[in-house]
Structure formats: structure tokens, C-alpha cells
Structure 1
Amino acid sequence: MRTELKVLRPADRDTWYSGLLLAFGGTPESPEERELWDTLTENDRCIGAWDGDLCVGTTGAFSFHVTVPGGARVPAAGVTMVSVAATHRRRGILTSMMRRQLDDVRALGEPLAILTASEPAIYGRFGYGGATRQLSAEIDTSRVTLTIPAGTDDVRLRFAAPQDVAEQCEALYARTSGSRPGMIVRTPGWERLALLDPPSEREGGSPLQCVVAERDGDIVGYTRFHIKPAWDAAGPRGAVVVKHVDALDPAAHAALWRFLFGVDLTSTVRVRNRPLDDPWQYLVSDIRRCGLQVRDVLHVRLVDVGAALEARTYQAPVDVVFDVVDDFCPWNTGTWRLTGDAKGASCGRVDEPADLALSVKELAAAYLGGTPLSGLAAAGLVRELRQGAVAEASLAFGSDVAPWLPHGF
């Protein structure tokens, strides 16, 4: 049976999208969710695999810019909506779509492709490496307290309807989006994703609530959350389900977390996606009662090794030659010399002995500074060909703050 890959036509969108939903379990979306994704989706970057009049595979991409170490915002294809019908598995459909998509990304001149994986084992064979992780927590606020830094009491908090302060909160996000590698620059329309509030996403809690932190009349932070009431024989046991926290300074950050810890009729704060070095961890009295969990989030693919490595800076001087293997995008295979520091970098092909040998997947995993090359070397995934090269490159590739993806796409 032969399938045909086609760029998505508007007339085929309903069939294409229905195939996508069916592959993810067939649960219908709310009209608000469907309308938002219809608005954000770039049809000319979507591909369908067709078996006659059946859409049996889907993939798409958003035209993003992602923050990299040093603060530059680099063009990146945000790979999304990837599916293959259960009736058509193991026929090479996914591989053919990934091949077509990465060829298109290269033609557009985007040095990076990024995605979040429903199953991370799928994408390594296409050169994607896990580059960021997220921290989740379930905090027992009946037994955990916070140490509050100076200035916290000078921050004023107030409730606000999420829509009423959406513009100010989005402006604050724009200010902070350059502070961490892995953060996406949100273009107009994407601010609506943070406000999307279907009942299926509330975890049994209230409609989305918002509290803003102000100083001298300006919003310096905000949090969005749900309240999930619960009672037992001893009394209230509700939970605060945190969706977003963003703040410009330590005092605003602490004021928001103090509020979340102290909501009446609750004894738990649940948070699903925070940076690994999120500051609240260093304010709590007992980290053991915070139920910490870590999982992968953003997977990165270097579509153009040279351009990608030149786009970021390095926290220590580096001069290293990589022997890169890239079976899926063979234009990247070969030896590349990277020289750089905190001011900039250059990277080009060379005919020189290599210092380190690795696949493009490992290079992608280390790219945002969250996965140390030294750890990959200790696992046997990076080979040191010049003594000291691992330590030099690992230090240079690091980031002083953990890379983080605040939301999916």
C-alpha cells in the first residue's frame, strides 16, 4: 500500500485534524481549543500522509524563535501534531514525514527544530536530543514554610480576571523570555494559549484564577492557578494547582509563592512545569516534603550544525573540533571546528583531527546547556580523542541558569 505526502490544503483540514485527534485517543477538543489551534496552525508547514482519501499521518511546524545561551533568539521549527494512524504503523510513514519536514526546515534556513515528545524514544533516531527538563512538585503546605527575602512585604498582591491583565502579563513574559535558554518568543496569538481554560484541563478544579504582584502601580509578577476543593474528616484538604508563575525579581517571586502556600482551605500546592533551578526550592523549610519529580520536555534537533553552534555563546573560551555523525541529515556529518566565548562564536568545517566524537543527537542534547557533555561522555556517548577536550567543551556549553520550556505547542 502506497501513501502520498501532501502539504495541507485548507479544504482537507478537518479530515487531517480528525486523523490527528484519533491517533491521540479520539477525545474531542472544546470549540475554544479547536478554534485556537486552527488560528495558530500554519497550513503551508503541515504535511499529511494520505492513503487514498484517508489521512493516515500528520505533522506540522510552527515558525518560532527560541532563546539560546547568550540570549539570542534563533529561528526554530516547532515540530508539532505528529501522528500515524494505528492501522498504518510500521510502514515508514513517520520516517518519510520526518525526512520531508527536515528537508523543508533546512530549505527555510532554520538551524534548529524543536519538539515535545509524547514518547521520547521515538525521536532519537531522527537526531533529536532531550535538551531541557521540567520540575514538578506536590508540596505539603501544612508542614512546609517559606523563608521570605527582604522587600517581599513591599509587593502588593491582588486578584484580577485573567483576561483583564492578559496584555500586562504577556509583556512581562516577553521581558523574561530571554532569561533562559529554551524559552519561546511568543508571537501575536500565542498569548491566548496561556488563557485557554477547558474544564478537561482543570484537574477537577475551579476556572482559571489570577493574582498579580505590583510595585508602584506596575505589574512585576503574576500567577495563574486553579483551586481544587477537598475535605476529609479532619477538615479542608484542598489543593492549589499552579499553571504559571512569572516574576521580575526575588521579592515579587517570593510574594507570589507565599500567597500560593497560604490559600485558605488548602494544604497542597501542585505544580507541573517549573525550571530545575526554580528559586522557590531554596526558600522552603523541608524540600523532602515537596514531592519533586523531573522529566524531559524539549527535544532539540540541529538542522545546520555550523549555524546552530555559531548562534549561541559559551560561558568559557572553547576551541574544539567535533567529529559529528548524522545519519538522518548527512549534510551535518563531518568535522567541525568551534571557537567561541561569552562574546560570540564561529563554527565551520575543517579537515583536522577531531577532539571529540559524537552523534548529532548528543550535540543537540547539550546545545541549550542543560545536559553536560561530561555526563554524556561518562555514559559512553561522547568519545574524547584529545585529553582534556571533554572538560573544556562541557564547561563552555553550560548555562548559568537551567534551560526551560514554559509551555507546549
Structure 2
Amino acid sequence: MAKDSASDTGLPELRVLRQDEWNTWYDTLIRGFGGVPEAAEERELWNSLTELDRSIGAWDGDVCVGTAGAFSFRVTVPGGAAVPAAGVTMVSVAATHRRRGVLTSMMRRQLDDVREWGWPLAVLTASEPEIYGRFGYGVGTFQVSAEIDTARVRLSVPPGTDDVRLRYAVAADVVDACEAVYARKVPGRPGMIARLPGWERLGLLDPESDREGGSPIQCVLAKRDGEVVGYARFRVKPEWDGNGPCGTVLVRDVQALDPAAEAALWRFLFGIDLTSTVKAWSRPADEAWQHQVSDLRRCVVRVKDALHVRLVDVGAALAARTYQAPVDVVFDVEDAFCPWNTGRWRLSGNAKGASCERTTDPADLALSVRELGAAYLGGVSLDALGAAGRVRELRRGALAEASVGFGSSVAPWLPHGF
């Protein structure tokens, strides 16, 4: 990690976070997001998960005026590899110190550190998406939310669904079984994060302030031949109107190892007594229920950005994934914020592996590192970025070739925030 220092330009001092500073640092973060206190259990969880040596504070004298942290993640990329990535988190600047370069100085320090750690990627979720493009982050995954009118929408299910047995369970008592399901899912979808010890607590976090009038977290396990093959975590919000019960199921998480188990869980959620609506957030863009419902219009589907991706080391990042069709292309990359990436790179790869090295050969495509980040996990088409004027084709046919190769057979997805 770069040395702590005070800036010669009059910027606040940046330094690595100490444990005895955490409360002050975190209070600065909370104030930056409106100042509403968190539940004690939530605050304690983030205290335990904070990686002090990967977190920095900006200090104006003895006052903390900026925060930024990073988690040690491994993110699945196309081909199934788990690639080291900095999970950029807890970024804030005090309103008293806006427009003075504090955020830029923290992003500069952080990306220099990530490079020093030898990690090829940085990823984040953005409270305001327009902020991070100037630091080279591109929107790499999308998430779906839905408000499904289950009184009118029917769900067709695949063969084998009736063979799956569902049982209620106390979420905390079956966390190991649920984490085993999750771990088996991670290699199969780009964007998923391998959870380190301690992160299983995030799915169990249940402060009353987050329940939106619903019940404490409920959990159902899906089993086949005695094996746990899926789970759902959810709340039920009971409501009544003049016509009778009209409660809502608030879906926290659904994970399953096969289509039949997944369908069984969604069918259960659609059919809970005294409810007529299912609300789900942060779901994969290609989730199967969207093709099983009788009327998608009554599901009020909305798509928004999720994981923003930044290639810290272009060569290492592009070589770490595979490509669904052969590619042999020279990129002319622009990266003003991390100039070590600027220049021409030859990517050669297929479904078995890839290499990416500097070259003096003529470029086939010209783009910035932001576009590479957007396309990296396979959820954003290079062709679409070309149509938007953000990728320039210098060799005829190169854009289509690269676009097909960069694609993914399943939509990349970030399963939870950080």
C-alpha cells in the first residue's frame, strides 16, 4: 500500500484506517449517506467485515472528511475462473469538502494500491452511477426488480418440479446448507462473488428497520432425495383491504442448483396464503421465471445497473477469462487515470484460455478502459458500445468478431451488495 502522506496541494491527509478510528470513520460515512443511524447489528457486521489495511480515511486535521475501503473479493469471470478483485466500498466525502479533489485523491490512492496488491480488477456498486465513469469504471452487470401480481399471473414449471420437497427452516440454523448451495452456484455465473467467512451473516441480517412492515426473515429449503438443492429467504407483509387479504411476499434471496428446484421455490413464493403480490429485487436479468409467467406485463419488471467493473491491469484481466468464440484482436486502449494500461494490447483467446500482451501491431479496435470494463463479464455487447460511438472499429469485421467472443451464455449477476 502507498505510504500515508499529506498532500502538497492542501488536500486532506490520506492514511490507512486504524481500529481505534473506525467509529469516527464510519460515522463520516453514515453522515455522507444522510445521517440515519444503522441498527446496532448492522453496524457491528460492517465493523467485523471492514479490512482495515485496505481502507483509507481523508483527514483534515483531526476531522475525518472522506472514507474509502476495499474488500478482498474473488469474482467469477466468463469461463468460471475466480479472479482477485478489490470490492470498492464505503466511499464518501463530507459535504463540507466537496469539489476539492478529495474523491479523486482517494480513487487515485486506491487504484495505485490495487495495482500494488497484484489484483487485475476493481468492482463497485454506485449510489450515483455517473460518478465513477471518470475513474474508468464501466457498468458490467444489470439487475432486475419485479412487482408480480400473483392473483393474475400464473407460473408454468418444468418437468421434475413436483419431485422437489420444500420445508420451512430457521434461517440461522441452516446457513451452512444454504452457503453450500451458493458456493456451487458461484462458478457458473460471471459477476458472482465467492463469499469469505463472515459474509454468510449478510444474508441473515434482519433489523426491524429494514422489514418494511414485513415479518422477520423466513426461510424455505428445497430438497431432493434428502439433499438440499435450493433455498429461498423472504418476508411476508400481511395486508387487508375491503376485498380481503392482499399481502406481499418480499423476496430476499433465491438460489437453486437446477431448473426444477428453482421453479419449485418460485411457485411456492407465488402461492403463499393471504398474499397477492411478490416483490423481488436484485435478480439476474435472464432468470427463468420471466419466461414461465403467463403475463410479463403484470410483473412490472425494471432493469438497473449493478456491478461497475474497472480493469486495473488490462493484460492480466483479459487473460484471466475465456471467450465463447475465437478472438484475435488488437485493442488500442485509452486510460487517462491509470496510464500504465494505455497502449496497444493483442488479445488471443477461445473457450479454453487466452493471452493478452502488449504489441506494436496495428490496432483493430480503439476504446477506453471503461468500455473494456463494461464488456468484461459478457453482459454488455461491444457491438452495442460501438453503435453508441464508444468503440471505434479500425479493421473491418473486428468489432463483430470481438463482440461475439466477449459474450456470455448466462447474464452476469451480482447477488448482493457490499
Selected match of 1:140 from 131, 134, 149:
149
* 1:398 counterpart letter in structure 2: G
Partner of 1:354: 363
SS in 2 for 1:225: strand
1:142-201 Cα distance to aligned partner (Å, 9 max, x none)? 000011211111111110000111000001100001110000000110000011011122
How high is the TM-score relative to the length of structure 1?
0.99
Task: Indicate whether 1:315 and 2:314 are aligned.
Answer: no
Selected match of 1:111 from 120, 143, 147:
120
1:64-84 Cα distance to aligned partner (Å, 9 max, x none)? 100000000000000000000
Task: Indicate whether 1:229 and 2:238 are aligned.
Answer: yes
Contact 2:11 2:100 in 1 (8 A): no
Residues 172-211 of structure 1: matches in 2 within 5 Å? Answer: 172-211=181-220
Q: CA deviation at 1:285?
A: 0.7
Q: CA deviation at 1:264?
A: 0.4
* 1:166 counterpart letter in structure 2: V
Selected match of 2:229 from 220, 223, 228:
220
Query: Which whole-Å CA distance do the structure 1 matches of 2:212 and 2:115 have between them?
Result: 40
The 10-residue stretch of structure 1 (1-10 or 158-167) with the greater mean CA deviation from structure 2:
1-10
Query: Which whole-Å CA distance do the structure 2 matches of 1:297 and 1:183 have between them?
Result: 12
Aligned structure 1 segments of 4 or more residues deviating by more than 2 angstroms: none
* 2:192 counterpart letter in structure 1: M
Task: Indicate whether 1:407 and 2:416 are aligned.
Answer: yes
SS in 1 for 2:53: helix
Unaligned residue ranges in structure 2 (runs of 5+): 1-9
Selected match of 2:167 from 116, 141, 158:
158
Partner of 1:258: 267
SS in 2 for 1:255: helix
* 1:224 counterpart letter in structure 2: R
Q: CA deviation at 1:12?
A: 1.1
Residues 23-38 of structure 1: matches in 2 within 5 Å? Answer: 23-38=32-47
Partner of 2:293: 284
Query: Which whole-Å CA distance do the structure 1 matches of 2:125 and 2:282 have between them?
Result: 13
* 2:29 counterpart letter in structure 1: L
Unaligned residue ranges in structure 1 (runs of 5+): none
Q: CA deviation at 1:202?
A: 1.4
Partner of 2:17: 8
Q: CA deviation at 1:13?
A: 1.1
Query: Which whole-Å CA distance do the structure 2 matches of 1:130 and 1:203 have between them?
Result: 29
SS in 2 for 1:348: strand
How high is the TM-score relative to the length of structure 2?
0.97
Selected match of 1:47 from 37, 42, 56:
56
Task: Indicate whether 1:76 and 2:85 are aligned.
Answer: yes
Query: Which whole-Å CA distance do the structure 1 matches of 2:60 and 2:77 have between them?
Result: 40
SS in 1 for 2:167: strand
1:228-271 Cα distance to aligned partner (Å, 9 max, x none)? 11111001110000010000111111110110000000000000
Query: Which whole-Å CA distance do the structure 2 matches of 1:310 and 1:165 have between them?
Result: 38
Selected match of 2:28 from 19, 23, 29:
19
Selected match of 1:294 from 282, 303, 318:
303
What fraction of aligned residue pairs are identical, expressed as a percent?
72
Query: Which whole-Å CA distance do the structure 2 matches of 1:203 and 1:271 have between them?
Result: 13
Q: CA deviation at 1:2?
A: 3.7
Selected match of 1:59 from 68, 73, 80:
68
Partner of 1:368: 377
Q: CA deviation at 1:279?
A: 0.6
Query: Which whole-Å CA distance do the structure 2 matches of 1:236 and 1:330 have between them?
Result: 60
Query: Which whole-Å CA distance do the structure 2 matches of 1:297 and 1:401 have between them?
Result: 16
